[in-house]
Structure 1
Amino acid sequence: MIRSGRQLNLVAILGCIPVSLSIQMADTPLTWLLYVAVFFTFIEATPRTAFLRGVMIGSVTAVINFSWLFSSAGRFTGTGLLFGLLAIGGLALFFALYCGGIAWLYARLKCRGSSIRTGLVNATLIASLWVFLDGFMIYVAKSFALALFVTYVAVGDNIFALQPATVLGPLVITFVIVFVNAALAHILYYRLWRFVFFPPLFIAVYLGWGWLLLARFEQRQPTGSPPPFRAAIIAENINPEFKWAYGNTNSFAERMFLLNVQVAKAKANLAVWSESAIPWNYAPGDDFLNEIDKITGPSGVTHLTGINTDYRGSTFYNSVYCIKPGNTVAGRYDKRLALSLIEKPFCGMLLPFFNSTGFRVKEGITDQPLITGYGKAGIVLCNESSVPEPAYASVRAGATFLVNPGNDGWFTDSYIPKQHFFHARLRAIETRRDIILNSNLGYSGLVQASGRIVFREKTDQPYVETLLVRNHEGLTPAVAYPYLMLVIAALAFTTVLVYRYRTLNT
């Protein structure tokens, strides 16, 4: 029987393993059990003990999962390995206090007792609380996407587990995972073996709901919808250090010309470029774009091209241009959520990025999709796909499909590209829109509105892939009522607190 403080501390440290595997989206049998060991150590812990264990869990997990910064930070910022160490230390401190605070609060609010009813009440309490915590992480990720960890990433490879997000958004997945883990931890701690069937049964019912939602969507045949169009992903897959280095312009241009020849031969309707694919700022009559038009214009190809736009001095818009045959600009999208410390200052600080001249991004203000002639393209640029709101706002503004250009070249060897693709997949399900991804040195591909992956590729070789994309209309409940799950969680949390108060006073 595991009961001593030393034993429980060891279990807490070992519990960092399934948590880390879930962050890195390793598809293992531990996917649904990521928090069981952690919750096991909190069941009879005092608030002080719970806080200290939470600090230990948060710091160990952060060091494990952000160790990639040690090698990447030097290339990413040009500041050497010292910044990597400082970044890891800062994130470890943040997550130590974050997890410690969660553990302390849970220990203060939980009901005492070994009955299954107490276990389910406490599971509801922590699951409801965790919905708000993941909601907070989503808010933080609007500026610090690289530090994002939300519970629902753990089941990113399970298409049925993701489907309820079209109704209640991604936080419903968080509730289910945390509830199941907390309930199972209680059952194991108090050896309530006759109830051990409950967590897997709960998961089975939840997955059944997901299966029904998927089946219903795929069986629904839209009437009068236009036929699919052919979209070409232009995956240049160029090391960002090479592309942004002075003197490599001709080599870059030659590669892009060859890729666009393939686009023209594939008879694509729409060509999708990666984020900031062209390493200089847009100017009318740009010679490079004129050459691209000579190659693809006769085939009638419209381009969604990543290229920055001048704002003032060393401040630019991170833009995607809709360019039609004749090198005619039909619209422009500017990134709405710039990365703090990297693309915009945070507390007056800005890390060197791309160069040492103080590059920074001016955030755009419009949610309007780009009118391509083949549908309305809602753009979610790079890290904007990691949080729901940009995609939701684009769909509410009329987008009939989504496009996610990105550049994962700075951290291509980490788990970040896989998380990036998963978040885009979830946005497709939540909005019921096809989403095209083109991420330099990351995962590029196409996810259908159902969540089914038509194409996914991560390579360091350039290629062009042509895919059929469908337009969709209408608003899902998740898009129409984005805060519904938070309201449900608030009601559940309040109900548990009322139950606890009445229990303590009877």
Structure 2
Amino acid sequence: MAYQYRLLLAILSGLLFAFIFIYMALPCAFTALVPLIIALHKLPLKKSIVPGLLCGLTIGSFSSSWMLESLAAFASTTTAVFIYTLSVLLIGLMMLLGSILLYPFINNRLPFIVKSIGIASTWTLFEWFIGNSIPGAFWFHPNLFKGVLKSELLIQVAAFGGGWLVSFFCAWINAALALCLLQKSKQTFIWLLSLCSFFTGLSYLVSGLYHPTSKNNETAKVALINANHPLHMQWNEQTGDRVVQEMLRLNAAAYATGSALHIWTEAIVPWSFRKDDDFLQALLKNPGQEKKGHIIGMLTDYAPDTYYNSAYYIEALNDTVQRYDKQFPLMYSEAPLTLFSVPLAGSPGFNIKAGQKDGLFRTLAGKAGITICNESLIPKASRKLARDGAEFLMIISNDGWIANSYLAQQHFYSARLQAVESRRDVLINSNSGYSGGFNSMGKELARQKETVGFVLPLFIRKNTTLSFYSKNYHFFIYVYLFLTVLLSIILITQTFKRRIA
């Protein structure tokens, strides 16, 4: 195959990946790697650098385009263009690394099924490594499972191995399809059909085997309160009173639903938490006699110009107040300067201090595990919550900076993955983004996105069943590592024997 055609295949692979991230396109999850594998097949190692880099640059050019508008709203256009260019380059280098890792598993003499497993396990470890290296930047994560987030059925295997197991099957089918096209044999085609049938059948089986053990089918009613504050809303003497009065109106509407728990969004006001805050005291004024619980996102003072991004659970300000501090600050806007992080020029000196403990609140609606904003897309931020006793999960967020991009929808549907992984009902309440929830099977309970404030009452079912993934988070990671190391040893041994022959 001519080299220029290989480069075109690399670009095609990048476009398919971009469709995964932007549209969560299911077919692309099973085909995005195919052109890249074909492009790298029987290509000298030195020449394989360009296809991998080109694939990544193509992905980044499209998947990072949201930065040009969103970051310009926080900083200058020049800063947005700089960070966009940097992101495109980093994604290019990231895919270059991925291609180098895949290269020996694509170009060897191993049998079809073994070769495809080697490609799949190596790619899954690559995804896991990137996700854990830069957890605060989910838009960099090259996860194939993002293409499956809209499928209630095919996401089910996540109950055993999380999103990584979904990605493994996606990568395995990608590899099998690519090798089938390269080898053009009836046997490889049968293997491919068998693999697709196995994955689909396993998804049905996992779904059918799941039986939640709830406390006498105990449910609880909660109210999501979303003020939908505009991105650049000014808090001053002219607007402050009006905004607060609107929030109190929404609060009264939530009380009227009879919900046991009221859940607000992330950082609902631009000041830090204080027990003597008049606004909080007004929120907690119950027009009835029944006690209510409130989860409220607010900042917590840490040091000058440094804060915790916190969630508070409050029943009464004179009682014990529970607090969770966000553990994985968002790159570009919350994280301090690192190799992979440039704080926004529009917010100098404002940094978020990372919390150290998982969030588990004992509420009137049950034990609630909580994550904040981008943490819902970071497996290690929520993997222990069910095991620690959470009966349902919730995500509070402010998607104002990505409200007009594809990331808002990706953020919402990532809650489905979290629900299936943990076998817990998951609620998400996002300012300017999508709010709603999924049950423990991944079925969508509600989805709402507005430009004005609203209250969304929902029933959640408390669950104490622990999924295999919740109990054995690292099990399949060790399996992928074992397969990759074993096949690497086999390849090294084969190479050594050929050289001395």
Q: Distance in 2 between matches of 1:178 and 1:221?
A: 30
Paired residue type of 2:177: L
Task: Give 1:111 shift.
Answer: 4.1
Partner of 1:151: 144
> Residue 111 of structure 1 contacts residue 118 of structure 1 at CA under 8 Å; is this kept in 2?
no
Specify the SS of the correspondent of 2:383. helix
1:331-358 CA-to-partner distances (Å, cap 9, x unmatched) read 11111112244223123976247x6452
Instruction: Answer yes or no: is the 8 Å Cα contact 1:282–1:308 preserved in 2.
Output: yes
Please report how far the alpha carbon of residue 140 of structure 1 lies from its aligned counterpart in structure 2 after TM superposition: 2.8
Secondary structure of 2:258 counterpart: coil
The equivalent of 1:106 in structure 2 is: 102
Match among 466, 481, 497 for residue 475 of structure 1? 466
Q: Say which of 93, 96, 112 aligns to 1:97.
A: 93
Counterparts of 2:447 and 2:337 in 1: how far apart (Å)? 34
- CA displacement, residues 78-106 of structure 1 (integer Å, 9 cap, x when unaligned): 2x111111112111221222212222333
CA distance in 2, matches of 1:185, 1:232: 48
RMSD over aligned Cα, in angstroms? 2.3
Output the amino acid matched with 2:259.
Answer: A
> How far apart in 1 are the matches of 2:237 and 2:61?
35
Structure 2 match to 1:118? 111
Structure 2 distance, partners of 1:156, 1:385, is: 13
Partner of 1:71: 69
Q: d(CA) in 1 for partners of 2:304 and 2:147?
A: 43
Report sequence identity in percent: 25
Residue of structure 2 aligned with 1:4, choices 2, 5, 25? 2
Query: 8 Å contact 1:243–1:279 — kept in the other structure?
Result: no
The aligned residue for residue 38 of structure 1 is 36
1:85 equivalenced with 2:81 (yes/no): yes
Q: Which amino acid aligns with 2:13?
A: G
Query: Do residues 132 (structure 1) and 125 (structure 2) align?
Result: yes
Aligned to 1:351: 343
SS of 1:268's partner is coil
| Contact kept? 1:243, 1:252, Cα under 8 Å | no
Cα 1:188–1:222 shift into 2, 3 Å = same
**Cα distance change of structure 1 residues 26 and 486 upon mapping to structure 2, 3 Å threshold:** closer
Q: Distance in 2 between matches of 1:469 and 1:137?
A: 33
Contact 2:415 2:437 in 1 (8 A): no
List gaps (5 residues or longer) in structure 1.
none
Q: CA separation of 1:95/1:119 partners in 2, compared to 1, >3 Å: closer, same or farther?
A: farther
Distance 1:144 1:460 in 2: 26
Instruction: Calculate the TM-score normalised by the size of structure 2.
Output: 0.93
> Does residue 162 of the first structure (1) align with residue 160 of the second (2)?
no
| 2:176 corresponds to 1:183 | yes
Mean Cα deviation higher: 298-307 or 274-283 = 298-307
1:227 pairs with 208, 218, 221, which one? 218
TM-score by length of structure 1 reads 0.92
1:208 pairs with 2:206: no
- Tell me how far 1:163 sits from its aligned partner: 1.3
2:436/2:445 contact within 8 Å kept: yes
Instruction: State the partner residue of 1:54.
Output: 52
Per the alignment, do residues 53 and 223 of structure 1 end up closer, same or farther by CA in structure 2, a change over 3 Å counting?
closer
- The separation in 2 between residues aligned to 1:306 and 1:374, in whole angstroms, is 18
Deviation at 1:402, TM superposition (A): 0.9
* 1:335-350 aligned within 5 A: 335-347=326-338
- 1:33 Cα deviation after fit: 1.6
Q: Which residue of 2 aligns with 1:22?
A: 20
Cα pair distance change 1:315/1:211, threshold 3 Å: same
Question: What is residue 230 of structure 2 aligned with on the other side?
Answer: 239
Q: How many aligned positions are there?
A: 496
Contact 1:368 1:397 in 2 (8 A): no
Q: Secondary structure at the match of 2:43?
A: coil
SS in 1 for 2:321: strand
* Letter of the 1:417 counterpart: A
